[in-house]
Structure 1
Amino acid sequence: MKAFVISAIASNQGKTILTTALLYNYRKSVRPFKIGPDYIDPQFHKTICDTNSINLDTFMMNKSQVKWIFNKYNNKDICIVEGVMGFYDGMDKACSAYDVSKLLKIPTILILDASGSYITISAVLKGLKTYKKDNTIKAIVLNNISSSMHYELIKRQVNEDFDDIEILGWIEKNLPCLKDTHLGLDLNDAKKDTLQKLSKEVLKHIDLEKLQKISVYTKKKNNNYPFEKIEKVNKKATIIKDGNFSFLYYDNLKVLKELFNKVEIVNPSKDEQISKDSDFVYILGGYIETQKAYDKIKNSKNFKDSLLRHVKDKRYVYAECAGLLFLSKNVDDKKMMNILDVSFTLTNKRNRLGYYYNQKGLKGHAFHYTKPIDTKNAIDILSKKKNSKGEFGAWKKENVYGTYLHTMFRNNLNILKDYFGI
């Protein structure tokens, strides 16, 4: 099989465009992965190739667990792993493209933006190659190339300076397909012909045979299960999921299916109801605080009534981020469910971004622009470092728990025990 990481020196260098083109090109035989906690890119991946994308996060999981996750899901001919930010960014949390590619022993393809440069590209590459001697950088793709002559200038210099780097090719500057989308392709609305055009133009000057030669990977066997054993329970779980509540790690879905006897997915935008025999409701993160999202659900009376019935029956609810907001009294002038005694306001600046710990040492990720009006009923502090100062980020009332923290379930079965009533 084949496997490789796509990385760069920073965000907005072309990782997503190259990943999109390759995923579409190999769509019948590819498994996408995403390094880190991101929810958005995996949704794009799924849209492009119709295969669920898997997060590889060496902050939330330990090394043996991430290796197990990769080996479990690399069941296709080609595995494409999209990096996060720059190649070494995230090393302080042990979750960079460098860390993950080294752990999995798969090569990295760097996409380098060559706008207004040629010899300096080789200097940048040297810096990346020498910063950590055990890096996995094996090849480069040059982005924003103005002409074939521009490409040859860079290629000549790189070949002169390196004998262990393959130059796979280049992507033209100002591609028509990118002009049409203004670099903001909404893949949820993308049509097949749009993706086909983008893939063809992006890969026009890239040697895919050479890419496959350097991406050979021998799949490892998952001999040991590095997690607490999951014992199935005779209970039913409900996942609240639609275009607004959409932040779901695919492996979390698999864990719930392994744990619960039955799992249903309820779409609140379609006013679907939670089953009366549901024991546990999981409300995903998303965008409920925005007007567009709020308008889609404000008239979903049947769904809301079924949630209130579920709470009245003292059944369990676990809600992340937008799910937390939905359970609150209100977000500014938007009335929410009034289940948790807290109100929020939407601000113009980020209030959290990055990895956090809760007071029980649970690792997770948070990213939000809302903040509570007051924290008198809060129960949990989220902090950047374990057992350090932070700010409140979770609320609980009887069997209902809402938190700003997104986390992974497979290595945190204690969450299921603490908050899922198991």
Structure 2
Amino acid sequence: MAAGLVISAPASGVGKTTLTLALARAWRNSGLRVQCFKSGPDYIDPAFHAAATGRASVNVDSWAMDRGTISHLVSRGIDADVVLAEGSMGLFDGVAARGVCGTGATADIAEMLDWPVLLVIDPSGQAQTAAAIAAGLRDYRPGVRLAGVVLNRVASPRHEALVRRALLDAGIAVFGALPRHAEISLPKRHLGLVQAEEQAEIGKLIDEAARFVAEHVDLDAVLQSAATWSPQPAASHVNVTPPGQRIALARDAAFSFVYPHMLEAWRAAGAEISTFSPLADESPDPGADVCWLPGGYPELHAGKIAANARFHSGLRGFAETRPVHGECGGYMVLGTALTDADGIRHEMTGLLGLETSFAKRRMHLGYRLAELATPMPGHQAGARLRGHEFHYSTILAQPDTPLAVVHDATGAVIAETGSRRGQATGTFFHLIAEDR
């Protein structure tokens, strides 16, 4: 039997990730086995979860995945004592049009699993109004249950007392209140938090967060509020076809946005994965039959990528006879050039004609449903793929054959079609699941 709990908030930036990491590490330190998940499309938080728990975390997504896929992914917590699902954005925030089994909202996962929600509330600039917000979230949607609240960034004991009294009067349990504590703030950059593997002190930071939260939050009461959950082992049910039998995967600080469930699905289907580092001037495995360049932060390393001649020549040679695919950042590196935030133009591999720029940044964010106009590795023309797009680059040129007709979650056609030239393909969207 495991204890299942969803951690959410009224909005982004309130402290969900910090609380999730702190609870996970505190319970792990007490001898419990803790499994985390992330609701929604996010590459960075699951790596922090793994650092806190010692167990791989995966994403679950009600817009892109069916119930069978979500059940299969969640069943990895079958041997855990505590299972935490960290939400994204606000509790009910999703897209306007329903996807496979929901809108992508954290509330979808809470209702589907029948787990109560632990709310993180930041009452900065308010007092009793925080209780009105919590009560509104509690009552907004039948089927979503509220376990209680942890207050974050309270200004003073008097401030805490005002908010606590209002919440208790509304019948909402308060498990603790956290004063401001700069030492447990996670650094951020333009696509979210700085990645866990880039932070040498991540273990100490999580330990400090766990100590701080254990000092101010009733961990036993939180655990008792969780749902008793006894999942049945689920059969493999992840709708992802591997792009080849032996996959050369770019993997380093510039190419790190790969969903764990994707890699697991590839391996479960019998594919082998070998990794290489473009930043270390490495080439793809010559024994591989396909090369995959995931997204990440190539714009932060554009000069080095441009200068690594062995990587360029090796990738070009590979693409003469075998498919190469790039997602988002990988797509940009397959292109002709990338202009960084300082306006400096860097030559990329030139396998595609795409040219992008960060000199004038504009956020592109949202779910994507793509119908392939031409084949890409693992998928034939006509295949429907679900994914998401999140980047700040601007397209200066996209001259090659469009790879797909791409729609956003409202059904509107978007300009980021992806490209195909010879053996090279690329998309701005990150694949999450096949639409079957």
TM-score normalized with structure 2 length: 0.84
Aligned to 2:423: 399
Q: What secondary structure does 1:390 align onto?
A: coil
Q: Unmatched 5+ residue regions in structure 1?
A: 415-422
Q: Unmatched 5+ residue regions in structure 2?
A: 340-344, 373-383
TM superposition shift of 1:178? 4.4
- Counterpart Cα distance in 1 of 2:355 and 2:243: 37
Q: Does 1:171 align with 2:172?
A: no
TM superposition shift of 1:21? 1.5
Aligned to 1:369: 392
Q: What secondary structure does 1:101 align onto?
A: helix
Choose from 138, 141, 158 the match for 2:147: 138
Aligned to 1:419: none
Aligned 8 A contact 2:147 2:226 in 1: no
Aligned 8 A contact 1:232 1:260 in 2: no
Q: Does 1:20 align with 2:26?
A: no
Cα distance change of structure 1 residues 227 and 395 upon mapping to structure 2, 3 Å threshold: same
Tell which deviates more after alignment, 338-347 or 320-329: 338-347
> Which runs of structure 1 show a deviation greater than 4 angstroms over 4 or more consecutive aligned residues?
178-187, 223-233
Cα distance change of structure 1 residues 181 and 359 upon mapping to structure 2, 3 Å threshold: closer
Amino acid at match of 1:159: L
Cα distance change of structure 1 residues 402 and 27 upon mapping to structure 2, 3 Å threshold: farther
Cα distance change of structure 1 residues 52 and 225 upon mapping to structure 2, 3 Å threshold: closer
Amino acid at match of 1:208: L
Cα distance change of structure 1 residues 179 and 324 upon mapping to structure 2, 3 Å threshold: closer
- Counterpart Cα distance in 1 of 2:124 and 2:234: 47
Q: Does 1:381 align with 2:382?
A: no
TM superposition shift of 1:214? 1.3
Cα distance change of structure 1 residues 367 and 228 upon mapping to structure 2, 3 Å threshold: closer
Aligned 8 A contact 2:255 2:294 in 1: yes
Aligned to 2:230: 219
Choose from 79, 83, 86 the match for 2:83: 79
Aligned 8 A contact 1:232 1:259 in 2: no
- Counterpart Cα distance in 2 of 1:153 and 1:121: 10
- Counterpart Cα distance in 1 of 2:318 and 2:429: 23
Amino acid at match of 2:183: C
Aligned to 1:250: 260
TM superposition shift of 1:180? 10
Aligned to 1:236: 246
- Counterpart Cα distance in 2 of 1:329 and 1:186: 27
Q: Does 1:294 align with 2:318?
A: no
Cα distance change of structure 1 residues 246 and 215 upon mapping to structure 2, 3 Å threshold: same
TM superposition shift of 1:342? 2.6
Amino acid at match of 2:144: N
1:251-278, CA deviations, whole angstroms, 9 ceiling, x for partnerless residues?
A: 1111121234422111222233322211
Aligned to 2:12: 11
- Counterpart Cα distance in 2 of 1:182 and 1:307: 32
Cα distance change of structure 1 residues 351 and 168 upon mapping to structure 2, 3 Å threshold: closer
Tell which deviates more after alignment, 384-393 or 46-55: 384-393
Aligned to 2:331: 324
Aligned 8 A contact 1:91 1:99 in 2: no
- Counterpart Cα distance in 2 of 1:68 and 1:258: 13
Aligned 8 A contact 1:244 1:287 in 2: yes
- Counterpart Cα distance in 2 of 1:135 and 1:397: 48
Amino acid at match of 2:407: S
Tell which deviates more after alignment, 113-122 or 327-336: 113-122
C-alpha RMSD over aligned residues: 2.7
Cα distance change of structure 1 residues 86 and 263 upon mapping to structure 2, 3 Å threshold: same
Match runs of 1:9-408 below 5 Å = 9-27=10-28, 29-90=33-94, 92=96, 93=98, 94-162=103-171, 165-172=172-179, 174-178=180-184, 187=196, 188-191=198-201, 192-223=203-234, 225-226=236-237, 235-290=245-300, 293-312=301-320, 314-332=321-339, 333-360=345-372, 361-379=384-402, 380-385=404-409, 388-408=412-432
Q: What secondary structure does 1:168 align onto?
A: strand
Q: What secondary structure does 1:338 align onto?
A: coil
Aligned 8 A contact 2:78 2:231 in 1: no
Aligned to 2:379: none
- Counterpart Cα distance in 1 of 2:214 and 2:405: 47
Aligned residues: 405
The percent of aligned pairs where both chains have the same amino acid is 25
Aligned 8 A contact 1:237 1:256 in 2: no
TM superposition shift of 1:295? 3.3
TM superposition shift of 1:331? 1.4
TM-score normalized with structure 1 length: 0.87
